[in-house]
């Protein structure tokens, strides 16, 4: 009586990117040892080609899942005080991609929504949720305890963005100018700021952040669920890779430029 190993994840989308039409794959994996987020289903939005996530990032073909995000490594020469994406693509995204290429995940969106009955879903542990059609997410989220979603693609610089995504995702903003623009479009925002910058009256500090004393994990907080959550906008001090080095200077320069 050999025990069958429980699947560690499933494919929930295979098809065209809503950003640029290139083939992409959405994979959900279970388990998380992330102290900030707590236990949740992580979703990975990966270019479905013969390149690893790392190679896609180098080449710039990560645009199918990352849109025109200013943290893509390919943007390094364009943006003053460039701050790279905090996702280390050679780690988890690469491992998920390799397992996918070996045939390690079966296509089963229903299994993902069932798994989410008592836990929390993270939209886009790598990649923008808006690369995948909104109805796919709705199916995944229908029984879930809650979710988080952050989208850099809300500014629609590549011409394809479904505003309905903002029911379930926060607009990622990094300057007050971006904040105002996102508010004008009717979105709830998640803003990254320098520690000395003020919190706006319409914002609250992320309760899972270091500066708020890590009161809760994301899976208990659940405020970053887009406009479907009735709450203030969320703000956090720059954190993660590159924050100490150049983030604050970068933010100030961009604030001044705006």
Q: What is the pLDDT of residues 29-66, one digit of tens each?
A: 986 555 555 568 999 999 999 999 999 999 999 999 99
* Spatial distance between the Cα atoms of 26 and 216, rounded to a whole number of angstroms: 28
Q: Residue 8: what pLDDT?
A: 83
Q: How many CA atoms lie within 13 A of 209 on its CB side?
A: 20
Round to whole Å and give the CA distance between 236 and 31: 25
| Structure confidence at residue 85 (pLDDT) | 86
- The dihedral formed by the CA atoms of 225, 66, 109 and 227, expressed in degrees to the nearest 10: 20
Dist CA 214 CA 254 (whole Å) = 28
R_g over Cα of the chain: 18
CA distances (Å), origin 164, targets 66, 77, 118, 182:
18, 33, 25, 14
**Positions of the chain with pLDDT under 50:** 2, 245-258
Per-residue confidence (pLDDT) for residue 131, from 0 to 100: 95
> Rounded to the nearest 10 degrees, how much is the dihedral formed by the CA atoms of 102, 86, 222, 32?
40
Task: Give residue 36's pLDDT.
Answer: 56
Closest by CA to 150, choosing from 165, 137, 140, is 165
Strand, helix or coil at 104?
Answer: coil
């Amino acid at each position: 009586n050999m025990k069958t190993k429980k699947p560690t994840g499933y494919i929930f989308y295979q098809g065209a990117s809503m950003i640029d039409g290139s083939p992409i794959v959405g994979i959900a994996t279970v388990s998380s040892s992330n102290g900030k987020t707590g236990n949740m289903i992580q979703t990975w939005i990966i270019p479905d080609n013969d390149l690893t996530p790392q190679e896609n990032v180098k080449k710039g073909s990560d645009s199918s899942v990352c849109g025109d995000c200013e943290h893509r490594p390919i943007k390094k020469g364009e943006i003053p005080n460039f701050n790279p994406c905090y996702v280390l693509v050679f780690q988890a995204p690469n491992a998920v991609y390799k397992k996918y290429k070996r045939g390690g995940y079966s296509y089963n969106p229903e299994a993902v929504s069932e798994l989410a009955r008592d836990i929390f879903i993270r939209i886009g542990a790598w990649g923008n949720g808006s690369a995948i059609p909104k109805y796919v997410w709705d199916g995944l989220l229908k029984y879930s305890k809650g979710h988080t979603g952050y989208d850099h693609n809300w500014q629609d610089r590549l011409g394809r963005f479904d505003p309905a995504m903002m029911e379930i995702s926060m607009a990622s903003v990094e300057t007050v100018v971006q904040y105002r623009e996102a508010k004008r479009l009717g979105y709830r925002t998640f803003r990254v700021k320098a520690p000395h910058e003020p919190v706006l009256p319409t914002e609250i500090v992320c309760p899972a952040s270091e500066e708020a004393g890590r009161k809760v994990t994301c899976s208990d907080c659940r405020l970053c669920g887009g406009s479907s959550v009735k709450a203030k906008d969320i703000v956090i001090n720059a954190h993660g890779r590159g924050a100490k080095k150049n983030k604050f200077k970068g933010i100030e320069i961009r604030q001044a430029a705006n």
